[in-house]
């Protein structure tokens, strides 16, 4: 057996020069036979498989992003706009802050006071209402913050027209949230003191609220005495700070931005092999990053790219392909569907509402599908072969990224980003082992998670 | 043309095919389809028969992949053997068994390799396909696959002498055709 004759290779070699088989068509036929003869067990795709198969992940991302954004807007903007305006940086420090300030009559009467405020304010006696254990200490020229768990009516006597302010109590079950009414020294407050409140609560409010109120009163009485001057923040200082912030905002100098952010991007991709003819593709995805300050941040994400490219045969180095005498590759057309995981450093050249930034980093490519069509000439015989591959390869940190972009803040909603980029291959990519260079333009929307 | 190679290793391909994984089967099929179709063409009369043998052979390959033993042979050799057996089975099904002609002379007419070299692939295929089926099978088995007449006799259920006769007939026919081609 296996006695070789001088012309056996010759016959076989001759036959191999026959036109290439239509492998895709033959495989379709074969697959039908296999489905009949060797059926596969139907496996239910997992959640991710289903999401990817139905491309619902994009929709899901948008829905989740929108929900998260809405929640953030709601959480950060839950108080009234006026109260928001009065909120100052450093509000968490109860010693020098009236966290939510209502220093002008124009502000809404309902103000949220923290436990710290109660703690600081409760023991401070006032000439006006020293007997009221729940009365917060007087601040700045006759202004008194008073805790009022029940609807409170405050009348201002020194106004030309007596005005009654009815303030709804905030029964939210949270001890730290106590409505506060604003009155002056010329004001006769009808606010009940702590004992009266407790008594009233016994009669008209649920037992839980009465117990809570008593506990608050007890806590306030037990709290250490604090110098009122330590928590006093005069109107002039507040006004000065407000003016300073307004001026800074007007000049475009925003407070330091620090923290995580997320966003969605999409754009146009132009790819070529070794700076040859460019073909149009696209990309889209989500990004996430962390800003260390107004200048520096790091970014990553997951992008879904579709890259098309055309090249002559010079860069074609597919595995298993051996150049042969008489064989010339005329043209290679490729299409790749790629998951890209970038890791970039971002630097804001110009910081402010309008930003000019640059990024640099590397990307990992996970090629999900690749289609390659090869036009060739073999001893004068022109042919074409096309193959489609799935789950082709993973190329870790294989592409260098550079971009120069512009972003503009869109109020509290986030910022819009326009980012021209270039991606240079650090190694050969895909089935054809070709160096695919990409450039393009991404447009994105970024939201700080603060 | 062998431009492409599967992105999976041979081990992964075999393992995937054993799990009846379509993607692995597809890659194995596409990787070896071209070479095995050439083999099938040399055993059959026309392209349709060649494709039929090819598909039957691949079905057997996928069904019997569990029997493949890397320590005994290379994957392609194993697949090629199955494909040859499939071609011979097809020959048997068609009932094209040759008459029991015995060949006792030890004479093998030579084929002019230089003339063969000058012919195109289509012409070589045409010459092969003009041979009677059993004669063509014997020629392929003996010349291309390297089987002995005794082995061919067992494979085709013919005697060793009949196998020799078919080989001699194939050579005569091919030599005659080559000379005619040369004269032309």
Q: What is the pLDDT of residues B71-117, one digit of tens each?
A: 888 888 899 999 988 988 888 887 655 444 444 444 455 566 666 66
- Asked if B163 has any chain A CB less than 8 Å from its own CB, the reply is no
- The shortest C-alpha distance from A445 to chain B (Å) reads 38
Question: Which of B4, B25, B113 is nearest residue A431 as measured by Cβ atoms?
Answer: B4
**With bands split at pLDDT 50, 70 and 90, how would you rate the model's confidence at B45?**
confident
Residues of chain B contacting residue A18, judged by C-beta atoms under 8 Å apart? 38, 41, 121-122, 125
Residue B54 has what pLDDT?
A: 93
- The shortest C-alpha distance from B21 to chain A (Å) reads 8
Distances (CA, A) of B51 to B36, B43, B82, B126, B172: 10, 11, 15, 16, 28
Nearest CA in chain A to B2: A321
Distances (CA, A) of A347 to A287, A288, A409, A444: 16, 15, 16, 17
Please enumerate, as own/partner, the contacts of A368-372 that have beta carbons within 8 Å and a separation of 24 or more.
A368/A337, A368/A338, A368/A339, A368/A392, A369/A336, A369/A337, A370/A334, A370/A335, A370/A336, A370/A337, A370/A430, A370/A431, A371/A334, A371/A335, A371/A336, A372/A318, A372/A332, A372/A333, A372/A334, A372/A430, A372/A431, A372/A432, A372/B4
- The shortest C-alpha distance from B183 to chain A (Å) reads 21
Mutate which of B1, B50, B138 to disrupt the A interface (most A C-beta within 10 Å)?
B1
The DSSP letter of residue A328 is E
ipTM above 0.95, yes or no: no
Q: Do A378 and B35 touch (CB under 8 A)?
A: no
Q: Do B55 and A33 touch (CB under 8 A)?
A: yes
Question: Which of A5, A40, A320 is nearest residue B4 as measured by Cβ atoms?
Answer: A320
Tokens of A169: 């109590």
pLDDT over 90 (residue A343): yes
Question: Which of A5, A31, A389 is nearest residue B7 as measured by Cβ atoms?
Answer: A389
Question: Which of B42, B116, B147 is nearest residue A10 as measured by Cβ atoms?
Answer: B116
Higher pLDDT, A3 or A67: A67
Owner of token pair 């389809």: B33
- Asked if B46 has any chain A CB less than 8 Å from its own CB, the reply is no
Owner of token pair 């099904």: B93
Nearest CA in chain A to B120: A14
- Asked if B77 has any chain A CB less than 8 Å from its own CB, the reply is no
Residue A288 has what pLDDT?
A: 95
Question: Which of A40, A372, A387 is nearest residue B30 as measured by Cβ atoms?
Answer: A387
The pTM of this model reads: 0.36
Residue A268 has what pLDDT?
A: 94
Contact predicate A331/A310, CB 8 Å:
yes
Residue B35 has what pLDDT?
A: 84
Could you give the residue ranges of the DSSP H alpha helices within A78-206? 81-86, 115-121, 194-204
Q: What angle do CA B157, B161, B166 make, to 5 degrees?
A: 80
Mean pLDDT of all residues belonging to chain A: 66
Residues of chain B contacting residue A20, judged by C-beta atoms under 8 Å apart? 1, 34
Residue B115 has what pLDDT?
A: 67
Q: Do B116 and A372 touch (CB under 8 A)?
A: no
Find the mean pLDDT for residues A180-185: 38
Find the mean pLDDT for residues A65-71: 53
Residue A397 has what pLDDT?
A: 92
Residues of chain B contacting residue A34, judged by C-beta atoms under 8 Å apart? 22, 25, 59, 62
Tokens of A386: 């096309």
- Residue-wise pLDDT tens digits, A96-117: 333 333 333 333 333 333 333 4
In three-state secondary structure terms, A253 is coil
- Residue-wise pLDDT tens digits, A22-63: 788 888 888 888 888 888 776 555 555 555 555 554 555 555
Least confident of A64-73, A392-401, A418-427: A64-73
Higher pLDDT, B106 or A420: A420
- Residue-wise pLDDT tens digits, A366-377: 999 988 888 888
Segment of A36-45, A143-152, A315-324, B76-85 carrying the highest mean pLDDT: B76-85
Question: Which of A2, A17, A40 is nearest residue B146 as measured by Cβ atoms?
Answer: A2
Distances (CA, A) of A51 to A67, A304, A305, B23, B132: 19, 14, 17, 21, 57
Residue A43 has what pLDDT?
A: 58
- The shortest C-alpha distance from A282 to chain B (Å) reads 25
Q: Do A320 and B5 touch (CB under 8 A)?
A: yes
Residues of chain A contacting residue B125, judged by C-beta atoms under 8 Å apart? 14-15, 18
- Asked if B33 has any chain A CB less than 8 Å from its own CB, the reply is yes
For chain A, the helix, strand and coil percentages under 3-state DSSP, each to the nearest 5: 25, 40, 35
Nearest CA in chain B to A33: B59
- The shortest C-alpha distance from B95 to chain A (Å) reads 25
- What is the percent of chain A with per-residue pLDDT over 90, rounded to a whole number? 22
Residue A276 has what pLDDT?
A: 80
Question: Which of A18, A26, A378 is nearest residue B125 as measured by Cβ atoms?
Answer: A18
**With bands split at pLDDT 50, 70 and 90, how would you rate the model's confidence at A210?**
low
Q: Do A11 and B124 touch (CB under 8 A)?
A: yes
Distant-in-sequence, close-in-space partners of A181: CB < 8 Å, separation ≥ 6? A109, A145, A146, A148, A152, A154, A165, A167, A189, A191
Residue A46 has what pLDDT?
A: 59
pLDDT over 50 (residue B169): yes
pLDDT over 60 (residue B44): yes
The CA-to-CA distance between both ends of chain A, in Å, stands at 78
Q: Do A37 and B59 touch (CB under 8 A)?
A: yes
- Residue-wise pLDDT tens digits, A246-295: 665 555 445 567 889 999 999 999 998 877 888 899 999 999 999 998 88
Residue A226 has what pLDDT?
A: 47
Find the mean pLDDT for residues A144-163: 38
Nearest CA in chain B to A30: B55
**With bands split at pLDDT 50, 70 and 90, how would you rate the model's confidence at A71?**
low
pLDDT over 50 (residue B136): yes
Residues of chain B contacting residue A391, judged by C-beta atoms under 8 Å apart? 7, 23
Nearest CA to A299 out of A331, A237, A345, A267 is that of A345
pLDDT over 70 (residue A179): no
Sheet holding A135-139, edge to edge: A135-139, A143-147, A180-183
pLDDT over 60 (residue A146): no
Q: Do A5 and B23 touch (CB under 8 A)?
A: no
Question: Which of B26, B37, B143 is nearest residue A21 as measured by Cβ atoms?
Answer: B37
Question: Which of A5, A321, A390 is nearest residue B3 as measured by Cβ atoms?
Answer: A321
- Report the distance separating Cα A393 and Cα A370, nearest Å: 10
Residues of chain A contacting residue B151, judged by C-beta atoms under 8 Å apart? 1
């Amino acid at each position: 057996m296996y006695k070789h004759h001088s012309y056996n290779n010759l016959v076989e070699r001759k036959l191999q020069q026959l036109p290439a088989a239509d492998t895709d068509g033959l495989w379709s036929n074969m697959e039908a036979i296999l489905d009949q003869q060797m059926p596969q067990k139907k496996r239910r795709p997992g959640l991710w498989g289903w999401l990817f198969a139905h491309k619902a992940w994009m929709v899901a991302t948008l829905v989740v992003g929108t929900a998260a954004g809405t929640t953030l807007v709601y959480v950060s903007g839950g108080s009234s706009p006026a109260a928001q305006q009065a909120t100052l940086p450093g509000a968490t420090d109860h010693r020098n802050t009236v966290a939510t300030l209502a220093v002008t009559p124009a502000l809404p009467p309902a103000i949220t006071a923290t436990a710290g405020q109660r703690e600081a304010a409760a023991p401070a006696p006032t000439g006006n209402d020293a007997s009221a254990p729940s009365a917060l200490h007087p601040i700045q020229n006759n202004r008194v913050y008073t805790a009022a768990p029940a609807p409170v009516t405050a009348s201002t006597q020194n106004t030309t027209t007596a005005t009654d302010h009815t303030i709804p109590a905030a029964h939210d079950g949270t001890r730290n949230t106590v409505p506060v009414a604003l009155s002056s020294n010329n004001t006769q407050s009808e606010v009940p003191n702590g004992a009266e409140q407790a008594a009233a609560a016994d009669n008209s409010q649920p037992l839980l609220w009465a117990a809570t109120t008593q506990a608050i009163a007890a806590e306030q009485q037990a709290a250490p005495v604090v110098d009122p001057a330590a928590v006093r923040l005069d109107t002039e200082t507040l006004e000065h700070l407000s003016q300073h912030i307004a001026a800074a905002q007007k000049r475009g100098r925003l407070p330091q931005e620090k923290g995580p952010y997320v966003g969605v991007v999409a754009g146009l991709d132009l790819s070529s092999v070794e700076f040859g003819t460019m073909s149009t593709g696209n990309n889209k995805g989500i990004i996430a990053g962390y800003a260390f300050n107004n200048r520096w941040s790091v970014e990553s994400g997951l992008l879904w790219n579709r890259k098309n490219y055309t090249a002559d045969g010079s860069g074609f180095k597919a595995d298993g392909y051996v150049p042969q005498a008489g064989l010339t590759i005329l043209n290679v057309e490729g299409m790749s569907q790629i998951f890209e995981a970038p890791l970039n450093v971002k630097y804001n050249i110009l910081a402010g509402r309008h930003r000019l930034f640059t990024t640099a980093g590397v990307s990992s490519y996970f090629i999900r599908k690749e289609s390659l069509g090869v036009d060739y000439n073999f001893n004068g015989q022109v042919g074409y072969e096309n193959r489609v591959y799935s789950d082709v390869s993973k190329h870790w940190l294989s592409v260098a990224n550079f971009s120069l972009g512009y972003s503009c803040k869109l109020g509290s909603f986030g910022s819009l980003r326009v980012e021209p980029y270039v991606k240079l291959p650090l190694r050969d990519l895909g089935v054809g082992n070709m160096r695919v260079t990409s450039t393009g333009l991404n447009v994105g929307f970024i939201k700080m998670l603060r | 043309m062998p431009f492409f190679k599967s992105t999976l290793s041979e081990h992964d391909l075999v393992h995937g095919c054993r799990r009846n994984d379509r993607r692995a089967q597809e890659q194995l099929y596409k990787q070896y389809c071209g070479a095995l179709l050439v083999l099938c063409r040399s055993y059959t009369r026309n392209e349709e028969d060649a494709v039929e043998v090819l598909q039957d052979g691949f079905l057997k390959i996928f069904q019997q992949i569990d029997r493949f033993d890397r320590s005994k042979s290379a994957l392609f050799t194993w697949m090629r053997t199955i494909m040859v057996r499939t071609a011979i089975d097809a020959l048997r099904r068609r009932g094209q068994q040759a008459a029991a002609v015995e060949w006792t002379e030890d004479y093998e007419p030579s084929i002019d390799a230089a003339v063969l070299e000058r012919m195109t692939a289509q012409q070589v295929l045409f010459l092969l396909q003009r041979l009677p089926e059993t004669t063509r099978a014997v020629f392929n088995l003996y010349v291309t696959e390297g089987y002995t007449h005794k082995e061919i006799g067992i494979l085709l259920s013919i005697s060793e002498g009949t196998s020799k006769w078919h080989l001699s007939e194939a050579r005569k026919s091919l030599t005659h055709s080559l000379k005619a081609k040369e004269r032309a």
